[in-house]
Each structure stands twice: as structure tokens, then as C-alpha cells.
Amino acid sequence: MATRNVKKSPGAAGKPAGALALFGLLRRNAGLRRLVVSVLLMEVGQWATWVAVPLFVIERHGLGLDVGLTTGLMAVPNILLGIAAGNIVDRSNPRNVLVVSAVFSGAMVALFPLTTALWQVQILAVLVGIGYMFVVPAALALRPQVMDAGSEMSGNGLVVTAQRMARFIGPAVAGPAIALVGLSWVFVLEGAMALIATLFFARISSHVPVERAPKNRAAGIAAALRPANWAGELVGDVRSVAGFLRSSPRLGALTITVLTYYLAFGAGTILLAAHSLKDFSDMPGMLGYMFGALGVGGIVGATLAPMLSRYPSGVVYVLASVLEGVAWLVLPWTDSAIVAVLLMLIAGALESSATVIFFTQVQHLLPAEYTGRYYATVLSVGDAFQLGGRSLGGLLTPAIGVPWAAAAIFAVFALPAVVLAAPLVREGPRPSPTTEHVQEKPKPSHQ
């Protein structure tokens, strides 16, 4: 088994970090800084594209079923092939996977303005989705290699902050960009941001988590890429991930609650639309304000989450899940726009705080060489759950009314965390984050 080098951050363990400490960590840790900046750039471009694609289809080909279908095609590769992508991430260097996928997705996005037929747009949407499905698992697999030992909570707080900032900045940038320079240039913008992100990815010092002999490693990657082996690889990867979930009740509980979060949030997006139309019909922008509040709350919660490290993480995780459900439950009972926006701000902060804890705990519980497969599985199943949540929300909300729909969403947010509270809050011995041996590495004199 290969040796994994782990740098220790002096004084990081056991000390809660505030927002200023997070920026200090970024300044000291060049690898983490490059990862955070590149993730921010990549996801800002991706969120801008999510806004631009439906507008592009409407502008070029008219409003109809094709608008939703074309946008949805970007998510299809991750739902169907996400686990295979995670397998490739685990068999290779995640940094190299990030570089290739960033360049590929950016190049495909930049081609949108050159299309002349809808089928060309749809093919590009699938290709862009294929590039996207590698980015997040590879970035998550790279995290343990750039975070100092003891700074996992702060490091994950920075990564989640970058992701939540991207959700807010991407759509906010897309609107003015479309108005000022035109819709086509939004796609060029993402292509440029992907290339800039690639420069940061390429400068991250990284190594393959599990050192294999070159012949074995090449055979492993070739096997992962060979279509004839995909079915067998898929079954094997699902079994390996399921095996870890069975062997670790806490990891299983974390996984179940994050998947039910996807389901609840998918239904919640429909609830927000229905609530804004029903109770705030005189404010056409109310839906955007509530989504914006979720984004701002996500940034605040992820930034401040490391300050919660002084408290038992499992208890904080359960409380955040329940209180987020309460925020959604109360939402339909207010006719005040300020209170509604404030509730969504709180919900976003609770969600991102719980996400930081989720990433930190999984990083400790899961062997590093299975990180890509685990997150690819969670993301692909999560996308399917979110799509199912939106479908259920669209079906149930008009049938049972907004208040009862909010009650159902509260139950999906809160009940799994309450039912699984025992393994979530139990503080046992912290498992090693990898099956490899850990040795000290002298800290370099400069980054």
C-alpha cells in the first residue's frame, strides 16, 4: 500500500475558525487556494450556462417542450454515467481529470453560438453534461490532497462557500452580460472561465491517491473507459460503495439524509414558484428574491460553518436539517415579503452549514481511493432525486395546496435526520480518511 503524505497545519486541530481565519488559510495553503478559485470559476460559468441555454433555445427555435428537454439533457449524462465517471476519477489523477474535463466542457459550451439547428444544440448539451459530470467528483477527490490535517472543516467551508457563491454570481452575471453584449457571448464567457480555471487546476500539486504499478494503473483506466466493461464496472462500483455504507452506519445515515435533501429541495423549488404566484402576485420578482436569499444564505452559512467545530458535528447536522425544514414549513404562513426572504436566507445558511459538515465527515469516513466513485454515485442519484422531487412537487402542490406541500417538504427535510439521529450524533473513534499509512511530511518553507 502506498504512503500518503499529510501536512499538518499548526494549531488547526481543535480550534474553531472564523471567517477571517478562512482567508488566512487560503493565504497559507496555495493548493487549497487554487482549488477554491478554480471551482468558483468553473461553477460560475456553469450556472451562467444553465441560465443561457433555455434563453438561447427560445431565441433561436421558439418556446416549447424542446426548451426543457434541451436543458435537461445536460443533466442526463450524470444521472446515467456518473458512477462510471467516478470510477475513472479514482483510477487516475483527479487533477488531470479536472484539467481535461474543464477544457472539454468549456470548448463545447463555446460552440453553442455556432449551431444552426436544434439537434446540434441538443448534442452539445449532452457533451457539456459529460464534461460537467467529471468536474465535481474530481474536485471532491482532490480536496484531501490539498487540505492540511486538522483543517478539514475550514477547508470544506471554503469549497462550499465557493460553490454557493457560484450559484449566486453565475445567474447574476448572466443577466447583465446578456443585456450588454448579447446572449452568444455568455457561452464564450464560460469557455474563457473554464480555460482560466484550468490554469489553476494544472498548478495544484497532486498525486494519485493509491499508487499502483504503472502497468496496473493503465489497465485500470483502460478498463474503466472500455464500453464492453461498463456494466461490470458499474455493478462493481455500486457494490463497493454499498459495502462502505453497510460497514459504516454514520456514513450510511449521512448519505440517506443528503439524498432526501435533494428530494425535498426539488419539491421546494416548485413550492417557491407556487407561493410567489399565490401570495406575492403583485411582486413579479419575488421568486428571484427568494432564490437569491437561498444563495446569499448559502454563502453566509458555508463561511461561518467552521465556527461550529467546537460543537458535536452530528448534533449540529441534525439540528440544521430539522430547522431548515421548519423554515420551509413556516414559509406559506407569511404574507410578508421581508419575512419570506429572511426565511429563505436562514434555510440557505442552514443547508450550507450542514453540507460543510457532510463533506468533512465523509472525508474522514471514506477511504480516499473511493472518493470519486462515492461522490459520483451520490451526485447522480441525487440529481435523479431532485428531478423526482420537482415532479412530485408539481403534482402534489396544486392537488393538496401550498401549506400541505410545505408540511410534506418539512417531513422530508427533518424526519430522516431525526430517525437516523443515533448514528449521526454518535461520536466514536474517528476512522482514518484513507486505507493507506500516514506519515509526516516536513512542511515546505514556501508554497
Which tens digits make up the pLDDT trace of 72-84?
788 888 877 777 7
Residue 427 corresponds to which amino acid? Answer: E
Residue 182 sits in the same domain as residue 288: no
Q: Please say which residue of 225, 254, 277 terminates a domain.
A: 225
Question: In degrees to the nearest 10, what's the CA dihedral of 28, 31, 33, 34?
Answer: 150
Q: Which of 16-25, 75-84, 125-134, 215-224 shows the lowest per-residue confidence on average (mean pLDDT)? A: 215-224
Residue 206 sits in the same domain as residue 266: no
Top mean pLDDT of 34-48, 163-177, 410-424 is at 410-424
Q: What is the pLDDT of residues 298-337, one digit of tens each?
A: 999 988 888 888 888 899 999 999 999 999 999 999 889 9
Domain boundaries, position 340: 243-429
**The C-alpha cell of 280 is what?**
406575492
Residue 346 sits in the same domain as residue 199: no
397 — pLDDT class (breaks 50, 70, 90): confident
Residue 217 sits in the same domain as residue 247: no
Query: 170 in a domain, yes or no?
Result: yes
3-class secondary-structure state, position 401? coil
Query: 27 in a domain, yes or no?
Result: yes
User: Which residues lie below 8 Å from residue 148, measured CB to CB, with a gap of 6+?
Assistant: 7, 8, 9, 12, 29, 155
Residue 85 sits in the same domain as residue 137: yes
Q: Please say which residue of 225, 252, 275 terminates a domain.
A: 225
Q: What does residue 205 show for φ and ψ, rounded to 5 degrees?
A: -70, 125
**The C-alpha cell of 113 is what?**
453560438
Q: What does the alpha-carbon distance between residue 255 and residue 75 come to, in Å, rounded to a whole number? A: 20
CATH code of 159's domain? 1.20.1250.20
Contact of 147 with 356, CB cutoff 8 Å: no
67 — pLDDT class (breaks 50, 70, 90): low
Q: In this model, does residue 218 exceed pLDDT 50?
A: no
66 — pLDDT class (breaks 50, 70, 90): low
Contact of 424 with 250, CB cutoff 8 Å: yes
Q: Measured between alpha carbons, how far is residue 163 from residues 42, 170, 206, 435 in Å? A: 9, 10, 21, 29
58 — pLDDT class (breaks 50, 70, 90): confident
User: Which residues lie below 8 Å from residue 299, measured CB to CB, with a gap of 6+?
Assistant: 161, 164, 165, 168, 352
Contact of 251 with 360, CB cutoff 8 Å: no
Number of structural domains (the chain) is: 2
Q: Please say which residue of 165, 193, 225 terminates a domain.
A: 225
Residue 81 sits in the same domain as residue 187: yes
430 — pLDDT class (breaks 50, 70, 90): very low
Query: 387 in a domain, yes or no?
Result: yes
Q: In this model, does residue 273 exceed pLDDT 60?
A: yes
Residue 129 sits in the same domain as residue 258: no
Q: What does residue 4 show for φ and ψ, rounded to 5 degrees?
A: -105, 125
Number of C-alpha atoms within 13 angstroms, CB side, residue 127?
16
232 — pLDDT class (breaks 50, 70, 90): low
**218: Cα separation from own chain's centroid:** 29
